[in-house]
Amino acid sequence: MAPTVYFVTGANRGIGFGLVEALANRSGVLVFATARDPARADRLNKLAEENKGKVVVVKLEVTSDEDAKKAAEEVKKYTDKVDVLIANAGVSTGSGPVEKVSTADLHTVIDVNVGGPLRIFQALLPLLRASSAPRVYGISSTMGSIAANLDATMPAEMTGGLYTVSKSGLNSLFARIHREHADKDKMTVVLLCPGHTQTDMGNAGAQFFGMDEAPVKLDDSIKGLLTFIDDESGKYAGKFMSFDGTERTW
């Protein structure tokens, strides 16, 4: 039986690495795990070495059109399909109130958090179409919810910054992908919030807000995300779900 083929962006650390590590423990999988600079991705390279034949490290700078195309060509050396795309890579550039953030930071965070998923989706689309049941997941954030941003009970600083703007953009992009490909390509498209997780980026954000660390343990986040990623029923298609099982408002 052919393996289930996964493609995970931003796999060098945090949530991306946690997902790849969990998937590598399974049988019947082939996981393509991306890093901006594979030569420096020590943990990821070690994981791939320990799981030869199941984990392949792929170079991908998500702001590069050329890298996205080359990544797709690398996948084709091993397989003729991708069953599951997990667009996880992201940055949190541009914290602070609107009156103080810079347009340079805006360009950066949008290019990574929205442009990156768009590039790799476009590059892998022929391979996704070759799957009998393609599934595409975007790692978003409740901070990208416009409803949450308008909630007067939510402290403004908790929903501020350009990261919020970029995740709203990602949500809109994935809504379009769902509308355009759900019927035509039998594609399941789901947005996932991993929670405020204890990763390097999550803990840095927590400290910015005066906390010692983020409240959600990485293992709990990964376990919750995989319940959706593993679901093949299509019941979450076009939805914005949290790792804790609840549906998020847009």
Catalogue the active-site residues. 163, 167
Is residue 51 within 8 Å of 29, Cβ to Cβ? no
- Token pair of 234, please? 């299509």
Helices 14-24, 218-229: crossing angle, 10 deg rounding: 60
Separation of alpha carbons 78 and 42, rounded Å = 22
Name every residue whose Cβ is closer than 8 Å to that of residue 210 and which is 6 or more positions away in sequence: none
For tokens 């997990």, name the residue: 86
Radius of gyration of the chain (CA): 17
CA torsion angle 236 242 243 244 (round to 10): -110
Name every residue whose Cβ is closer than 8 Å to that of residue 31 and which is 6 or more positions away in sequence: 5, 6, 7, 8, 20, 23, 24, 54, 55, 56
* Maximum alpha-carbon separation in the chain: 56
Burial (CB count within 10 angstroms: exposed 0-12, middle 13-18, buried 19+), residue 113: buried
CA 25 to chain centre: 20
Separation of alpha carbons 223 and 230, rounded Å = 10
Separation of alpha carbons 61 and 25, rounded Å = 26
